[in-house]
Structures are given as structure tokens and as C-alpha cells.
Amino acid sequence: MLRRYSVHMFLALLGFVLVYLAYNELVNLYILSILMFMGVNIILSASLNLVNGYMGEFSCGHAGFMCVGAYVSSMLGVLLFAKDKVFGLPLLSPEFALYAFPVLIFAGGVAAAFAGLLVAIPSYKTRGDYLAIITIAANYIIISGIENISYIGGSRGFMGMKRLIRSMEDVVDLPWMLIWVFLFTIFSIWILRRYLSSTFGKGVSAICQDEVAAEIMSVNTNKIKTITFMLSSGLAGIAGGLFAYILGYVNPGSFNILKSTEVLVMVYLGGMGSLSGSVLSAIFFTVLLEVLRPLQIIKWVVIPLLLIILMQFRPEGIMGNRELGDIFPWLKRFYRFK
């Protein structure tokens, strides 16, 4: 009983505490936004780990898919629920925004998943370094594409999402963004865990370890690659949508290759092929970025330096390819690890 529901209870408690703190304004908005970016970063690093860690490909265009998700969900949201100078009056009453919000985020995820085909289809024939170049190209195509559509603001960006958040809070006065980020983070980890622990999803590891053997032992490698890339970019799209609504503003510049690199750092920091590693390193990295904020631009000297040190002394990352349960066996008393 305890083993079965321990994680559910823990998450429910965590969620409750977070919402309680935010609702009673016991933490300030700055801390709150860091907590939300933590969630976004967890989704990003876990979803990139699916491709880079579990499947053994090297994708460095993750921010591109995030961008697709961010734009699609924010444009759809503003079009439907907020008054805006691009789209004019909302098509639906803003009160529905609260109920439709998950749908908006999912729409961004689905759009990003289809953008993932941009990488998935070339991956049938290419892999390794060559595919890495394709992912960079995909990142650039998406960013430059959006920069050149002046209707949605071009490189100046797109805004108006704050109105949606306010109309959600008008309906029920709760810190809605925090709640949504929390729920979507859990959703992402949940979906990845279930996928990867099924025999179907273990085809991903089979491809990573020996693609020829995978194909010859009846794994439909092209299908698995398509699903995996689409799932990974779809989750990046969800993270992008949340990111856009947290900021209330998006511009293509924030999804450039530097952002992709940031996600890569989180994946390698946490350990390839370890979901708990990705979660931990996303939390750690978000905090680190904030702690180093006083250094301003020097920050981008210190963080890459940390990466060099990490690669020298612990190339497998914090967790290696192990999960929490392998490192702390006592946790098994509370939870059945798959």
C-alpha cells in the first residue's frame, strides 16, 4: 500500500505545499518564477534525455521544438481568449481560458511533435554527428522562419498571454501557472517512464546499443525513431508553451542554439539515460543559473567551465545511467522501481 502510493502521496503533498505557499504569498514572485522554470527545465531535460541518453542520438536543436510549442499555444490562446492587436477581439469568452488551458498547451505539444518529423525522417538514414548537424539546421529553420513572419511580431516577439493568466485567476483565484507547470511536469515524467519501461519502449535502448541487432530482431527501428523523436519534441513543445505563458511574452531569440545547449548541459550533468538524473540536474542547474546571476555575462564563462570540469572528472554525469533506486536502495522500501 505504502509502496504503491508513496509517490502519489509525496507529489500531492508537494503540490499542495507549493500552491499553499504561493497562494498565501509566503514566497515572493521571484522564487515562484524560479520554481516554475524548474518545472519547464525538468520537462526539457527529461525529454531531451529520451533522444540523447536513451536512444543514443545527438540532438542539439531541442529549443527549436520548444519554440514551435511556445508560439502555437500562445497564438492559439490569444486568438481564442484575449484581446490583442494582432487577432483583435477574442473568439471565445475569456472565462473558458481556465478549462481550455491544458488543451492550448497540448496543441503546442502536438505541433512541436510534428515539427519533430523534421529530424525524425532524416534519422532513418543518418545518425551520430550527421544527425546532430541536421538537428542544428532544424533549430535554425524554425527560428528564422518565425523571425520572418512579421504578422506575429517577427523577431520582436509576440505577447498578450498575461491577459489569459489574469482571466484564469479572475475565475478561480489560485496561482494557476504554478499549478499547470507542476501538473505538466508530472505528466511528462509519467509518460516518459511508462514509455521507457514497456517492452515496446525498450526498443529505444535496443537501437542505442546495437541498431543492426535491433532491426534484425524485428524491432521496427524507423517507427520507434519516429515515435521517440515526436515524443521528445512534443514534450519540448509543452515546455515551450508553459515557458511562454510564464513569461507572458515570447520572441524567437530566446529559443536559439544557446537555449538548446543549456538543455544539453542539463542532460549531461544529470547523466545519460537516467530520468531521475535529468530531474535532479534540471533543479540544480536552474538554481545554479540564479545563484550565478550576479556574475552577469561572466556566467557564460563559469558554466561552460563547469561543464569542462564535469566532463574531465565525471563524464557519466551525476547519476550515470542509474536511477535513484539504484543509488539509494533504501528508497525501494517506499517505492517499486521498474
Partner 1 sequence: MTQLHVQEKSVPVLEIENLSQRFGGLTAIANFNIALGENDLTGLIGPNGAGKTTVFNLVSGFYQPSEGEIRIGGTPIAKLKPHQVTAMGVARTFQNIRLWSDMTVLDNIRVAQHYRLGYGFFHSILRSKTYQQREAEITKEANNLLEVFDLIRYRDEFPGNLPYGTQRKLEIARALSVHPKLLLLDEPAAGLNSNDIQDLIRLIRWIHNTFDVSIWMIEHHMDVMMELCNHIKVIDFGETIAEGSPEEIRKHPAVISAYLGDDTL
Q: Computed from CA positions of residues 293, 295, 296, 298, in that sequence, does the dihedral angle turn out positive or negative?
A: negative
Min CB(161)–partner 1 separation in Å:
29
Beta strands in the chain (DSSP E): 158-159, 249-250
Nearer to partner 1, 126 or 205 (CB): 205
Min CB(221)–partner 1 separation in Å:
7
- Amino acid present at 225: K
Beta-bridged to residue 84, according to DSSP, are 88
CA 245 – CA 147 distance, rounded (Å): 19
What are the grid coordinates assigned to 178, written together?
A: 504554478
Nearest to residue 77, comparing CAs of 86, 47, 173?
Answer: 86
Yes or no: say if 182 and 99 are a contact pair by the CB < 8 Å rule: no
CA 96 – CA 322 distance, rounded (Å): 43
Yes or no: say if 43 and 239 are a contact pair by the CB < 8 Å rule: yes
* Residues lying near partner 1 in the complex (CB under 8 A): 191, 194-195, 198-203, 205-206, 208-210, 212-222, 227, 231, 321
CA 236 – CA 205 distance, rounded (Å): 21
Nearer to partner 1, 83 or 338 (CB): 338
Min CB(112)–partner 1 separation in Å:
17
Nearer to partner 1, 150 or 218 (CB): 218
Min CB(224)–partner 1 separation in Å:
9
Nearer to partner 1, 24 or 199 (CB): 199
Nearer to partner 1, 60 or 219 (CB): 219
Min CB(338)–partner 1 separation in Å:
11
